Amino acid sequence: MRTQVAIIGSGPAGLMLGRLLSRAGIDNVIVERQSADHVLSRIRAGVLEQGSVELIEQAGIGERMRQEGIVHHGTVLAFDGDSHRFDFTDLVGRSVMVYGQTEVTRDLMRARNTDGAPSVYDAAHVAIHDIDGARPRVTYIRDGQTHEIACDFVAGCDGFHGAARASIPADAIRTFERAYPFGWLGILVDRPPVADELIYAHHARGFALCSMRSPTRSRYYVQCAIDEKVEAWSDERFWDELRRRLPPAAADALQTGPSIEKSIAPLRSFVAEPMRFGRLFLAGDAAHIVPPTGAKGLNLALGDVRYLAGALIAHYRDGSDAGLDGYSAKALARVWKAERFSWWMTTLLHTFPDMGPFERRMQRAEFDNLVSSRAAAMAMAESYAGPPY
């Protein structure tokens, strides 16, 4: 098989890149090691920056998002029961949209089917070859046979554990990582959200988050030890712990019910740079991971793809490689801003094993500064809602 761009990974980054390239008349093939059903079964965050909403609209897949997405003009931060709402519209003139990553993926899959662009699922042993030359190749095994895709460029959108980053020689890439000493225990429940907007709460017992997927489905999290087991957390234990950590009004308004999904996720900050090696370009989780505290993971992936699609389109339409040559630096500038914000939110809102009285008072001082300083609140709001592109 021959194509212009081979895309590894059928998550939202790979699918969005494919959509943007197809609309520009650029041939592309997506190769995914999992099944389509498995990809759609992944439950992920769903807070979209305004720039991500705009990109989804530009890609022509915004109809269902407009109908079902929930616009948030602010969010609530709480510290030991004291809470404050930050109005993004007032502070920076921007908003965010609650619309699940699974739904973004579903919309992109449907659009790809409509486009008639090829996707290969259940592709085993995906490997990338000759990325430092003029004719890269992608091979995979499906139905017991080895297949090969010849291409001009490879886009690695296959996640943290994928083949793309692993294809880059170790001496050609540098990684930066911070593993946090706790995780998030999250549950999904068919009950109305406790509030109209997200609530991020710091408590001496640990962090808590009240989020949502729709007006009738809620997503809640509590900080837990990294070695906790899901089986040790009954629904009753979770609800009791969540109530303890929330501001009183939110705790009183909480509607509980049987969980329909329960899991524990570790928290990690990770960046690999550069995001290009030869004719291979990394995007999304293949290049960077953020703790979910700042809701940046999906938004960063879509930001990467926005830059990469523009660079590839300029290459084929205009014969200009300036965008390709500058892709890594341009993407990493935004990545590191998001990494800083996610690290800052995580540091502010969580309890750490080695934390003493001084560190807790510093957290309180940081919260009080956000509440009392419009400049500090504006900086937080711009980072959360996403700076303009």
User: Catalytic residue positions?
Assistant: 72, 200, 292, 296, 384
Instruction: Give the span between the Cα atoms of 303 and 306, in whole angstroms.
Output: 5
- 3-state SS assignment for residue 186: strand
Instruction: Give the span between the Cα atoms of 97 and 298, in whole angstroms.
Output: 12
Q: What's the order of all strands across the beta sheet hosting 124-129?
A: 124-129, 137-142, 145-150
**CA 34, 110, 292, 236 torsion-angle sign:** negative
Which whole-number Å values give the CA distances from 348 to 210, 355, 367, 383, in the listed order?
17, 12, 8, 15
Instruction: Give the span between the Cα atoms of 128 and 373, in whole angstroms.
Output: 50
- 3-state SS assignment for residue 158: coil
Which whole-number Å values give the CA distances from 230 to 43, 206, 234, 258, in the listed order?
16, 17, 8, 15
Instruction: Give the span between the Cα atoms of 195 and 210, in whole angstroms.
Output: 8
CA atoms within 13 Å, Cβ hemisphere of 250:
30
- 3-state SS assignment for residue 106: helix
Cβ-Cβ contacts under 8 Å for 292 (sequence gap 6 or more): 45, 184, 265, 267, 342
